[in-house]
Amino acid sequence: MRNSEVIKKVGLLKAIKPQASWSSQTRSLLLSQIVAQGVSSTKRAPLLGATRAYGFTAIAEAYAATIGVLVSRPRNAFFTTAAAFGLAVFAVVVAQSSLPGQPLYQVKQTSEDIQVALTPPADRSALELSLIDRRIKELEAVSAEEGTAKDPAIVDALVQDVSKKFESVEKNLTASRVKEDPKKAVGIASLVKEKSQDYRRVLAEKVVSPAAMDDARIETISNAVRAADKANSKALEVLVDKGASVGVSETELAAHLTETIEHTESLAKDLRQTVKMAGLVSDDQKQETLKKSQDAQVALDEAKKLIEQKDYKIALLKVTEGKELVDGARRELAASVGDTKQEGVSPEEGDNASSTSSEMKIKLVF
């Protein structure tokens, strides 16, 4: 074998590349981590696996030096300001590990708000997604294992914060921004899908507890799930529309669509079972719900065929149609459940009916 042949064969390995979605995600995460590093912490960055201890040490040393100067030199405005700044920075650094309800949590939130404000709009979504990740971890930390929140007000505040951030990210995935930088948009979209799934999981497993849920809380959780779903749908649109042009493989696109189909089918199946067990719903409503569920399944089956034919854009339309039918049916059913103040119902029957209707409403949220 000649050297030229060896070089030619080895040259084939130039095709080794990272997956496009990984490249975009890592780029977005790197830039958001770098922005967030403006206030360092000693925590290991979970996704990038690099310690940021050096940042904390540098700030602590700066603080010590500032205080040392203040003590040794005659006071003046400059050193007083420097010491105050040093204290503030030190407080912000320590605040990063605080949880809702703890004294320094407000400092943490303020520093995050500043970060967001100082971040150029084009990079804001990546930062907001990393903050969503933080909120999700905090939600897990403040919710007890049984799913009963230690302080419902704190949990609700966290849930609302995440919902707002998902709404903001979803709004930022505008047509013009996607057109401007499709690679970044696809990276953000992949992260949105991942985080919205994490959020739903934490809400379902850690936050929701039938014993602690009144209508107002159910509404809060419902809005939260809706915000995550909307962001998820938008992300899927971006992935299907722009993914191929930035190197996302057909296999990945098909996988994203199939995942949504399977999730929607599972919701439709739950819906059919819930309707059968629902003693509090009229027959007309039951029929209507079952019909919508069946129509949704037809649309999803068509979507599966289109995916096999690699017609991803039309498949997405069918998936969206199916999803909207199921979501609409679930909302209507949830709205029709619940008014248990019927004439001739005894207080005990009313209580039992009320808890049953709450359980059903919770089921219809997820």
Site residues (CB under 8 A) for another protein?
1, 3, 6-7, 9-19, 22-23, 26-27, 29-31, 33-35, 45, 47-50, 54, 123, 247, 249-250
Distance between CA 145 and CA 148 in Å, rounded? 7
Distance from CA of residue 57 to its chain's centroid?
Answer: 32
In the complex, minimum distance from the CB of residue 79 to another protein, in angstroms, rounded to a whole number: 24
- For residue 83, give the amino acid letter: A
Smallest gap from residue 15 Cβ to another protein (A): 5
- Cβ proximity to another protein: between 157 and 244 the closer is 244
- Find the DSSP H helices in 99-214: 105-118, 121-142, 152-172, 175-180, 182-202
Neighbours of 58 (CB within 10 A): 11
Residue 37 or 174: which CB sits closer to another protein? 37
Task: CB nearer to another protein: give 9 or 269.
Answer: 9
Q: Minimum CB separation from another protein for residue 291, in Å?
A: 41
Token look-up 């084939």 returns 12
Give φ, ψ of 323 to 5 degrees.
-65, -40
Nearer to another protein, 53 or 87 (CB): 53
- If we measure between CA atoms, which residue out of 190, 130, 186 comes closest to residue 162? 130
By C-alpha distance, which of 224, 225, 216, 227 is closest to 152?
216
Tell me how far, at minimum, the Cβ of 191 lies from another protein, in Å. Answer: 14
Q: Which is nearer to another protein, 59 or 337 (CB)?
A: 59
- The two tokens of residue 176 are 């013009």
34 CB neighbour count, 10 Å cutoff: 10
For another protein, the closer of residues 11 and 103 by Cβ is 11
Q: Which is nearer to another protein, 49 or 74 (CB)?
A: 49
Tokens representing 74 are 């005659």
We find the least distance from the C-beta atom of residue 251 to another protein, in angstroms, to be: 9
d(CA 131, CA 149): 21
Task: CB nearer to another protein: give 23 or 320.
Answer: 23
- Report the alpha-carbon distance of residue 128 to residue 116 in Å, rounded: 7
Of 97, 89, 95, the C-alpha closest to 59 is 89
CB of 34 to another protein, least distance (A): 5
Token pair, residue 7, equals 């070089």
Read off the DSSP letter of residue 310: T
Nearer to another protein, 147 or 247 (CB): 247
- DSSP reduced 3-state for 7: helix
- Cβ at position 249, least distance to another protein in Å: 6
Q: How far is the CB of 202 from another protein (least distance, A)?
A: 24
In whole angstroms, the minimum distance from the beta carbon of 36 to another protein comes to: 11
Q: Which residues contact 42 (CB under 8 A, 6 or more apart)?
A: 51, 52, 53, 56
